[in-house]
Amino acid sequence: MSKNGGALAGLKVVDISRVLGGPYCGQILADHGADVVKVEPPQGDDTREWGPPFKEGISAYFSGLNRNKRSVALDLGSKKGQEVLFRLLEGADVLVENFKTGTMEKWGIGYDALSKKFPGLIHCRVTGFGADGPFGGFPGYDAVAQALSGLMSINGTPQSGPVRVGIPIIDLCAGMNAAIGVLMALYERQKSGKGQFLEVSLYDTGVALLHPHAANFFMSGKTPAPTGDSHPNLTPYDQYKTKTRNVFVGAGNDRQFRILCQELGVPELADDPRFRVNSDRLKNRKELDEALRALFLKADPEELCKRLLAAGVPAGAVQAMPEVVAHPHTKHREMVVELDGYQGTGIPTKLGRTPGSVRRKPPQFAADGQAILKEAGYSETEIDGLVKDGVVFTERRKLR
């Protein structure tokens, strides 16, 4: 727990985004001390329904993206709801949203309008494809972005063909890019005194993730294809079967390959003219692969990986979720966190003097609405009126 609240303590963020990319950006900022007010629509964030599993009425999906936030529910499509948003933005540093391009502009609360009221505001938008271009304004989900950006085309095996990456990698990376962009804009504001609009799209994020395949294509002109676990530029860098379980070994240079051969009991393999340097190994990948797979089948995975790691060769057993969560290194690195019955993955960015922390469980719908609105200057009578008028919600509106 950070004694001073984290590196972003004092930063005020209004997060009106939902689903994944925007909320993940908000959670990163919140983990490091920002006061993040999550403004949900009357029916709640979509992911509140993305289950099972559920615990205390909250889905696991929502839980993984919304800790350290406070929740209030507003109808932003109404003029009164927009007036409440303006009150929340007074003194705010950052607005995070991921409405379909044009929605906020249609409501009269796009960046042009907001920047006049709040010239220091950082307005961060996460979109599917950006606002312009042939696909500009189209909606986007992670898997669609994986397909269109080319990421899916290089994932899988020659036998399987293109396969979706098993986590919403583009959504998550878009959230990270958004958080980075917010911090860059805040840094620039210290010099200019001005806020600005920034946009992160899933499509752009997907294309940016294509390393080294895009770089290889730019230089060679060859279309990358799925290679499974192996690396297009390095070998051996692959998953291997052993006596009991699979392991992954990445010998990233010739020295590591020599050590690998020694630990497998075949030091002479490193002197084979077909395998001495990486470029030769790539040319003779099939022959090397056959030799190594026969050797790995005889190995004890834990013992071999421990020796390889100690000798400087990256290697690890393929672990399932229960093993990862229970692993001593996971616990030592505080990569599983718990708070009053909540469990989640830990904070990966470890600041030495101002570390992040988990201070709040993911919020129940509109759980903090009254406190948030009082902070914004509303009286109890005014809040009751907003609830009565269908501007502020205390219970989720059922979708028909």
Give the torsion through C-alpha atoms of 24, 26, 30, 36, to 10 deg: -140
Give the torsion through C-alpha atoms of 258, 262, 268, 274, to 10 deg: -40
Per CATH, the number for 237-326 is 3.30.1540.10
**Do residues 376 and 395 lie in contact, with contact meaning Cβ atoms separated by under 8 Å?**
no
Question: What is the block-wise mean pLDDT of the chain (400 residues), using blocks of 10 residues?
Answer: 77 97 98 98 96 96 98 96 97 96 92 96 96 90 96 94 95 98 98 98 97 96 92 94 95 95 96 96 96 95 94 95 96 97 97 97 97 97 97 88
Which tokens sit at 221? 């002109």
Distances (CA, A) of 221 to 152, 176, 213, 278: 19, 31, 11, 21
Architecture category of domain 12-209+337-393 in CATH: 3-Layer(aba) Sandwich (3.40)
Which tokens sit at 297? 């089948």
Quick one: pLDDT at residue 400? Answer: 61
Quick one: pLDDT at residue 23? Answer: 98
d(CA 255, CA 48): 50
Catalytic residue among 15, 45, 171, 204: 171
d(CA 233, CA 368): 52
**Do residues 196 and 185 lie in contact, with contact meaning Cβ atoms separated by under 8 Å?**
yes
> Does residue 300 carry a catalytic annotation?
no
d(CA 76, CA 228): 46
CA atoms within 13 A on the CB side of 142: 16
d(CA 4, CA 14): 22
Domain boundaries, the chain: 12-209+337-393, 237-326
**Do residues 397 and 43 lie in contact, with contact meaning Cβ atoms separated by under 8 Å?**
yes
Per DSSP, 210 falls in state: -
